[in-house]
Chain A
Amino acid sequence: MVFEDIREPVEVITLFRNGIMQPLKFRWNNRVYKIDRVHGKWVSDEGLNKFFHYSVSAGSPDCFELCFSSGKLSWELTRVCMEG
């Protein structure tokens, strides 16, 4: 199993509904990943800036950690865990 820190900005199609944010798809390295499962979500903060973290899968056993910054209004792919 390999953990790899990525920390790259990514584009994420996000659904905002009833005060809940839900990432649906993200593009990374010119490939679109359709999120099929959100395993866990949590919040961290730096001063007034909040970071919303999501641990997701996208059609494979690989696991991606996405992070939305409330200050920058942008998404980042924080890290990946891959089999092998």
Chain B
Amino acid sequence: MGIDPRVHGRIKNRKPPMGKITRMKKPKTIMHIDMDAFFASIEQRDNPLLRGKPVIVGGTLESRGVVSTCSYEARVYGVHSAMPIREALRKCPQGIFIEGNGAKYVSTSRQLMKILLRFTPRVEPVSIDEAFLDISGARRLYGTEENLARLIKTTIRRELGLTATIGVAPNKIMAKIASDLKKPDGLTIVRDNEIESKIYPLPVSAMWGVGKRTVPVLKKLGITTIGDLARTPEGTLKKWFGKNGIVLVRMAKGKIDSPVLSSSEVPDEKSIGHEHTFSRDIDDFEKLTGELRLLAQLVGRRMRKQGFVGKRITLKYRYENFETHTHQMTLLVSTNLDDIIYFSARKLLQERFPQGRKIRLLGISVSLLSRQGEDLFLPLSFFDEKQIEKRKKLSSSLDQLKDHYGEMIILNASILELR
């Protein structure tokens, strides 16, 4: 007599085999909120005379600027963001051109983020008018994701007088695509089992990261939809796009699952850097390394002040003829220590610096930032752990001195030579 597989399955599920711990990954629900024609909608809200009219925000007719955003009434005429104002005027001569009010938009954006934080602490602002929310936990409080999305839309409309479009999906990429499907004032929910039917038929250009340059290459490979991309072997795209090819396929499959980072986890800046143009061009390597040390100290100090660590060190130098080069190295673990930044930048300069050429500008920046709290060490084994601890203490003492007496109170000897 055989065992009924369903019963067997139930027994198996109830009692996992001894010694094996199976940790099921909880499915996530991510919401992408995108305000509809944010700047133009704020202007229309604040001025009833503008309602129902083609409003173009970005600059006056005399300016040489570009369109920041425009109302849906202006979009009918083919006006869109980043279009030169003059072209917008040609397409929509009856448009009302407004210079825009940055302080007003920032203030409204802050109000928006405050509203979103009432529903979940996991709010990641993407831009002034866009945010991701991880509502996996919030769903239990508010019922279905649809109930929650409608409640958020109503709250935004009631308190800000603006409309928002919402996309809900199992990850950020799909949520962003979902919110683009129905605008303005839209709501699109894509569940895990609906990705193939709702997302796969869309053109690849609907996906984040697939721009004007990528689309023609994908087309040559016979990939026109997100579904085509998801079904393509990773190796095929790796040949064409390197590592990014693998990322593209995984994005299309919905397998890239980056977490929603609350604003305290997201750096305010993408990179922290300093650069210096010399009063006289320098061709002496030692003098340049002295300058590098000062730049590394300034960058490190700013990072520590703001509580960031970073993984990628970028060296920038410009020759006397304005030819500019940048070189990067990525550390295994993030850092904000002056010495590590300095030695990394020095290594980059040493490897690339052609003798006999004069340099007019030198700069260091650190990117791939995250919040402080990780251990610091280098792949290049510049320092062992004890040394790193020592250097952390030294940096902290020097920071205190500089806080009290100013940046120039204590300098490395190699910098003094430059002064």
Contact = CB atoms under 8 A, between A and B. Distances in A.
B107 A39 contact: no
Contacts of B111: 42
A40 interface: yes
Nearest to B98: A3
A66 to B, nearest CB: 12
B240 to A, nearest CB: 47
Contacts of B42: 40
B103 A81 contact: no
A3 to B, nearest CB: 8
Interface stretch (B46-54, B349-357, B408-416): B46-54
Interface string B33-62: 000000000100111111000000000000
Interface string A33-44: 000000110111
B161 interface: yes
Contacts of B219: none
A39 B46 contact: yes
B327 interface: no
A40 B111 CA distance: 12
B104 interface: yes
Interface stretch (A13-21, A23-31, A53-61): A53-61
Contacts of A77: none
A63 B49 contact: yes
A55 B108 CA distance: 13
For the complex, would chain B's binding face be called helix, strand, loop or mixed by DSSP majority? helix
B103 A61 contact: no
Contacts of B46: 39-40, 55, 63, 65
B96 interface: yes
Q: Which bucket holds chain B's interface residue count?
A: 10 to 19
A73 interface: no
A42 B42 CA distance: 11
B107 A57 contact: no
B49 A44 contact: no
Contact of B161 (A40, A45, A57, A62): A40
Most B-side CB within 10 Å, residue of A39, A42, A63: A42
A57 B48 contact: yes
B107 A42 contact: yes
Nearest to B161: A40
Interface of A: 1, 39-40, 42-45, 53, 55, 57, 61-63, 65, 81-83
23 contacts: A1-B49, A1-B50, A39-B47, A39-B48, A40-B42, A40-B108, A40-B161, A42-B103, A42-B107, A42-B108, A43-B103, A44-B104, A45-B103, A55-B45, A57-B48, A62-B49, A63-B47, A63-B48, A63-B49, A65-B46, A81-B47, A81-B50, A82-B49
